[in-house]
Amino acid sequence: MDRSEIMSWIKSIAMAVIIAGAVRYFLFSNIVVHGESMAPTFANADKVIITKTTEISRFDQIVFDAPDTDQHYIKRVIGVPGDSIEVKDDVLYVNGKATEEPYLAKNRAALLPGQKLMGDFTLREKTGYDKVPDGYLFVMGDNRLVSKDSRIFGLIREDSVNGEVQLRIYPLSDIKVY
């Protein structure tokens, strides 16, 4: 190989690294799930792909910078700006309407008679606000009995969101598009 061919290879490899870095930084990223707060939707050590360009909506599963540690959390968006949130008799009310949460079915089925997934609360009791303010989200894990979420640490800033979960890639037997 002569010098010009070597330089051509170096340029090609450098360009590939730059493009891969830009895609990872601006468009997609892979994340490993830690903990059981989103079970059974996601289990500990599941690997997911997030997109960084989608608009976040109610009930999306997102990854964000944890407000209380240097880690990332994965939770479900329950309230977006302008929403009022209340749980009464284990039913989630968003803007005064009872909300179906089919992703909680397995956890509900495992409850003992009379046991609830969540205690009753209002958004005001947990955050001091009647409605989710602009620039913030209210999030909860699907495993409500063990999840550390907005019921504990309050609202999260929208700018702390790393992305929306789009695809589970591991374990291979559970690959799924969201």
One pLDDT digit (tens) per residue for the chain, 178 residues: 788 787 778 777 777 777 776 666 666 788 889 999 999 999 999 999 999 888 999 999 999 999 988 889 999 999 999 999 999 999 999 999 999 999 999 999 999 998 999 999 999 999 999 999 999 999 999 999 999 999 999 999 999 999 999 989 989 888 888 8
H/E element, 137: strand 136-140
Q: Kindly report the pTM of this predicted structure.
A: 0.85
User: Residues 177, 167: contact at Cβ < 8 Å?
Assistant: yes
Catalytic residue among 4, 8, 12, 37: 37
Taking the C-alpha atoms of residue 141 and residue 161, their distance in angstroms, rounded to an integer, is: 15
Beta strands in 8-96 (DSSP E): 28-32, 47-51, 61-65, 72-79, 85-88, 91-94
Total tally of structural domains belonging to the chain: 1
Give residues with Cβ within 8 angstroms of 16, minimum separation 6.
Answer: none
Does the active-site annotation cover 75?
A: yes
CATH number at residue 84: 2.10.109.10
Catalytic residue among 4, 11, 12, 75: 75
Does the active-site annotation cover 37?
A: yes
Give residues with Cβ within 8 angstroms of 7, minimum separation 6.
Answer: none
Domain that holds residue 157: 3-177
